[in-house]
Structures are given as C-alpha cells and as structure tokens.
C-alpha cells in the first residue's frame, strides 16, 4: 500500500512540475491582443488571464516557486519510493551495499527521466505551441497558488532583489524571465506553426539572430 501511494505521489509531483512549466512558458508566449479581444467579448477566463499578464513578474515568480517545490519534493519522495520498490526483487541476491547502490542508481535515473521529459520538456513545448489554450487553462489555478503563497513569493523576490544589488545590479519589476536565442527561436517556431506568425515575419526575425551569430563568429576568428 505504501508503494502504491508513493508512486501516485511521484506522478502527481511530475504533473505539478509540468503544470508550472507549461504555465510559465504560456504566459510569456501568449498574444496579449488576442486575450484582450476575448475579454471584451465576455470571456471570464480571458479577463482573469489579463490580471496575470498585468502582474506578469509576480506570476512568473509564482510559477518558479511551484517548479522548485515540485522538483524538491520529487527528489525527496520519488527516489526513495522507487528505490524501495527495486530493493524487494533484488534482496538476497546481492550484498546490502550493492543492493542500495543499484536501487539508488536506477531510481535516480527513472526519476530524472520522468522529471526532464514529462515535467520539463513536454510541458515547455506544450506551453509554447498552445500558448493561448494553456494560459487560459492554467490562469485560475496559478492565481490561487499565488494568493496562497503570496507572502513567500514577495519575500523571495525581495531577497533576490537585495542579493543582486550586492553585485551592483538592479532588479526590475518589468523583467519576467530571461531567455536565450534558442528559447526565442522555439517561441518563434511555435508561433509560426500555430498560425500566429506569418512566414515572412518568421524569416525576418530569424535573420536577426543569424546576423548576430555571424558577427560573433567573425569576432572570434
């Protein structure tokens, strides 16, 4: 029975991690103009989503907190639970030390794979390619999560701001997440595939990245 509930807990934590990842990428990818149009037409989910977009930095922090909590809990609960399941069939066949080593290694590999594939990459692509649907679907749960954890989120934001100031930097409420050129290319491709970006606009934006890459390569020669 313990093993059954442990596996259920692992799956729920992977789902929770994926939820926050998908919500984060959907929030930064969704077209605000489209959401405003839906809100004006009377869509309650769209009006709720606009509230999140008006306070984007706070809700991105909420998503990051959710991802962190789910990931830590997955490591704390998941690896011991899976290792416990593996120790049974191997008991008596190998020494106690080897048994624990094998069980831990296999459990770590399984949990890491689940976390990366189902908890990170797949939700990330879903949030990029189905930004509007995902953002509308996750807005209400994310809003509730933010209200429940508003004080820890604000405290962490404050601590982060004070920390970066030690290095002569300044945090800004205007900043959400920072993405690499590859992340931006994925957002562009997802927007193009979903019909939100024309082919000529996609080529023009990608040409900017290609030009920047070429300048970097020339500077390194």
At residue 189 the predicted structure's pLDDT band, cuts being 50, 70 and 90, is confident
CB 58 within 8 A of CB 146: yes
Please choose, from the candidates 74, 71, 101, the residue with its C-alpha nearest in 3D space to the C-alpha of residue 86. Answer: 101
CA-CA distance, 171 to 167, in Å (whole number)? 11
CA-CA distance, 43 to 207, in Å (whole number)? 37
CB 164 within 8 A of CB 170: yes
CA-CA distance, 36 to 220, in Å (whole number)? 45
Tens digit of each residue's pLDDT (9 = 90 or more) over 112-141:
999 999 999 999 999 999 999 999 999 999
Domain coordinates of the chain in residue numbers? 2-173, 179-221
Q: In a 3-state reduction of DSSP, which class is residue 195? A: coil
Tens digit of each residue's pLDDT (9 = 90 or more) over 129-180:
999 999 999 999 999 999 999 999 998 888 888 888 888 776 554 444 455 6
Backbone angles phi, psi at 94, to 5 degrees: -135, 170
Tens digit of each residue's pLDDT (9 = 90 or more) over 34-59:
899 899 999 999 999 999 999 998 89
Across the strands, what pairs with 94?
Answer: 91
């Amino acid at each position: 029975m313990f093993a059954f509930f442990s596996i259920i807990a692992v799956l729920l934590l992977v789902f929770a991690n994926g939820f926050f990842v998908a919500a984060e990428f959907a929030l930064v990818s969704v077209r605000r103009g489209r959401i405003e149009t839906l809100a004006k037409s009377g869509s309650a989910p769209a009006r709720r989503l606009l509230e999140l977009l008006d306070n984007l930095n706070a809700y991105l922090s909420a998503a990051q907190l959710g991802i962190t909590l789910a990931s830590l809990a997955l490591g704390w609960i998941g690896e011991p639970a899976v290792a416990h399941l593996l120790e049974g069939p191997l008991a008596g066949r190998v020494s106690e030390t080897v048994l624990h080593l094998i069980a831990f290694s296999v459990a770590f590999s399984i949990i890491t794979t689940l976390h990366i594939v189902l908890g990170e990459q797949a939700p990330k692509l879903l949030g990029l390619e189905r930004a509007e649907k995902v953002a509308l679907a996750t807005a209400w749960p994310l809003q509730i999560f933010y209200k429940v954890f508003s004080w820890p989120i604000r405290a962490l934001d404050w601590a982060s701001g004070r920390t970066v100031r030690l290095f002569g930097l300044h945090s800004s409420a205007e900043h959400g997440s920072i993405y690499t050129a590859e992340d931006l290319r994925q957002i562009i491709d997802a927007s193009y595939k979903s019909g939100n970006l024309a082919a000529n606009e996609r080529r023009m934006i990608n040409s900017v990245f290609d030009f920047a890459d070429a300048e970097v390569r020339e500077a390194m020669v």
